[in-house]
Amino acid sequence: MAHFEEVSKQSDLHPKPAGLVLQYGTAGFRTSANKLDHIMFRMGLLATLRSKKTKATIGVMVTASHNPEEDNGVKLIDPMGEMLTSSWEDYATQLANTKQDELLTTLKDIIKKEAIDMSREANVFVGKDTRSSSASLSQAVLDGVKALGGHNYGLVTTPQLHYMVCCQNTQGKYGEATVEGYYRKLSQAFSQLAKNASNRTDDQKHLSVDGANGIGAIKVREMESHLKKHMQLSVFNDGSRGKLNHKCGADFVKVQQELPTGIKINPGDRCCSFDGDADRIVYYYTDSQGDFHLLDGDKIATLISTFLKELLNEAGLDLKIAVVQTAYANGSSTHYLEKTMKVIVKCTKTGVKHLHHAAQEFDIGVYFEANGHGTVLFSDGAEEKIQQLANDANINDERKKAAFLLQNTINIINQTVGDAISDMLLIEAILAIKGMTVQQWDAIYSDLPNRQLKVKVSDRRVIDTTDAERRAVTPAGLQEAIDDLVKKYQKARSFVRPSGTEDVVRVYAEADTQESADALAHEVSLAVY
């Protein structure tokens, strides 16, 4: 990159269409794949700068997650496997929007502002999902990092790339920075946990996975041989026939509240769906009447936090555990967690980075978006205490067992980011250890019926929100109108917010019956126009 002439030459091969303005949002850059070539090249450049600045490996993931196959996107991953720090999101936006002939000036500005030593080495890990556009777009990223230590991982899930960036920068302390190393670490922890389950039949070990016709299907198949003894997988929507995220995948199942197409199951079978880059997961089953039952991120957070709280009690460890949710969390889940489980619940703005940061404030922070993106964070102090207890020869068997389970729970979790495969293994292990069926898990609390709608408006940015997006401040009168509508229904709640990833306003409503939730969502969407 010291060779700015080379950057200039390469940049001419990745020209920016005039007039196109994009913003680095909660999902990085995301839009139609045909608008993204210059963005990818420029993010390759930015990742290189970020690597020189942090003296660490940086990740670049090419994916548009649950969006349609025609879209694509890109996100940068910081040294510990976390999302790009917010001050650099601004650089990303600047670099993306700068005119073709001003690219070098913008680049030099960033180098100066951040006092980057350009003689330093750079190392960038690049990963991509299975979209048809991902091959050429990830090549554009590599053109940006050219000759500066770029490593192409090819097809990986988003969380696998986060994991490998973290492993690389912690000198292997978190694990080995390879996909194989990821499978080994997670499957070993899974086997250790599964040993503590009483004997299970093959049926009980069976799980149907909807891979959304994406990367998750490929990766879970790769992992299958490591899991053989303890798990029986049937993978549907593996990309051999259907289109990515089309009528399948976690987002479809969560929003439509119905089975994905392409899955063949019997009543009572335990099933889950990944999204297109395998960082989200939801579970579900159908009952003997054929009714569909969804176990979303809120139910997952409840299962995991209950399990952890019980283990902490058994281990005699005094660690503060909290659950972090967003406004989309079902009211019943919040009520159950606070009133019955008596855990701290925090609500943050939508977007994983907000939840992740909030979860870092506790000894153990369980965070999940209702859509199924989430993980668990253990503070260094909490990990140390668990480790010490596990090594303590003077404790009774019950405490020893709890410490051992906590240790392996830490190892099975991908703490860098929400991870469908890691979450799936943890959930399967918990159900096995507790001897719990999916129906029993579902019965922990009953969801309030709810509805999510999208509304197209001329400018979604006129809506400004407060109180973790639960109340609209502008336009004037909107919140009052929502309040009046909510009063008409029992156990009702509703809010609106501009989407960060699509040009729409999202409307959410819940109430005591599905009819009321539907009616309220409809009436609120009319108030948004």
Which parts of this chain interact with Zn ion (CB under 5 A)?
65, 275, 277, 279
Nearest 5°: phi and psi at 207? Answer: -140, 135
How far apart are alpha carbons 321 and 307 in whole angstroms? 11
Interface residues with ligand NG1 (CB under 6 A) are 26-27, 65, 328, 350-351, 369, 371, 373, 499-502, 506
Residue 240 annotated in ligand binding: no
State the catalytic residue, choosing from 8, 32, 51, 65. 65
Q: Tell me the residue number closest to Zn ion, measured at CB.
A: 65
Amino acid of residue 210: D
Q: Which is nearer to ligand NG1, 280 or 385 (CB)?
A: 280
Q: Which is nearer to ligand NG1, 351 or 449 (CB)?
A: 351
The binder of 93, among ligand NG1, Zn ion, none, by C-beta within 5 to 8 A per type, is none
Q: Which is nearer to Zn ion, 164 or 278 (CB)?
A: 278
Q: Active site includes 525?
A: no
Q: Which is nearer to ligand NG1, 129 or 363 (CB)?
A: 129
Beta carbons of 7 and 107 less than 8 angstroms apart: yes
Which residues, 6 or more positions from 397, have their beta carbon under 8 angstroms from its beta carbon? none
The binder of 501, among ligand NG1, Zn ion, none, by C-beta within 5 to 8 A per type, is ligand NG1
The distance of closest approach from Cβ of residue 493 to ligand NG1 in the complex, given in angstroms and rounded to an integer, is: 15
Spell out where 156-278 has E strands. 206-210, 232-236, 271-274
- Contacts within 8 Å (CB) and 24+ apart, 252-256: 252/66, 252/212, 253/210, 253/282, 253/284, 253/294, 254/282, 254/294, 254/296, 254/370, 254/371, 254/372, 255/452
Q: Which is nearer to ligand NG1, 383 or 502 (CB)?
A: 502
- Contacts within 8 Å (CB) and 24+ apart, 221-226: 222/179, 222/183, 223/183, 223/186, 223/187, 223/421, 226/183, 226/184, 226/187
The binder of 298, among ligand NG1, Zn ion, none, by C-beta within 5 to 8 A per type, is none
The binder of 500, among ligand NG1, Zn ion, none, by C-beta within 5 to 8 A per type, is ligand NG1
How far apart are alpha carbons 153 and 147 in whole angstroms? 16
Residue 133 annotated in ligand binding: no
The distance of closest approach from Cβ of residue 79 to Zn ion in the complex, given in angstroms and rounded to an integer, is: 21
Residue 497 annotated in ligand binding: yes
Helix then strand then coil, in percent of the chain rounded to 5, is: 45, 20, 35
The distance of closest approach from Cβ of residue 315 to ligand NG1 in the complex, given in angstroms and rounded to an integer, is: 33
Torsion of CA 508, 512, 517, 520, to 10 degrees: -90
Q: Which is nearer to Zn ion, 279 or 469 (CB)?
A: 279
Q: What angle do the packed helices 215-227 and 420-434 form, to 10 degrees?
A: 40
Amino acid of residue 387: Q
The distance of closest approach from Cβ of residue 311 to Zn ion in the complex, given in angstroms and rounded to an integer, is: 29
Q: Which is nearer to Zn ion, 79 or 372 (CB)?
A: 372
What are the structure tokens assigned to 277, written together?
């880059």
The distance of closest approach from Cβ of residue 377 to Zn ion in the complex, given in angstroms and rounded to an integer, is: 19
Amino acid of residue 255: V
The binder of 26, among Zn ion, ligand NG1, none, by C-beta within 5 to 8 A per type, is ligand NG1
Residue 6 annotated in ligand binding: no
The binder of 356, among Zn ion, ligand NG1, none, by C-beta within 5 to 8 A per type, is none
The binder of 506, among ligand NG1, Zn ion, none, by C-beta within 5 to 8 A per type, is ligand NG1
Residue 221 annotated in ligand binding: no
The distance of closest approach from Cβ of residue 239 to ligand NG1 in the complex, given in angstroms and rounded to an integer, is: 20
Nearest C-alpha neighbor of 227 from the set 257, 196, 183: 183
How far apart are alpha carbons 221 and 224 in whole angstroms? 5
The distance of closest approach from Cβ of residue 281 to Zn ion in the complex, given in angstroms and rounded to an integer, is: 10
Residue 234 annotated in ligand binding: no
Residue 502 annotated in ligand binding: no
Residue 275 annotated in ligand binding: yes
Q: Residues with catalytic annotation?
A: 65
Which residues are known binding-site members?
65, 275, 277, 279, 369-371, 497-501, 506
Which residues are known binding-site members for Mg(2+)?
65, 275, 277, 279
Which residues are known binding-site members for substrate?
369-371, 497-501, 506
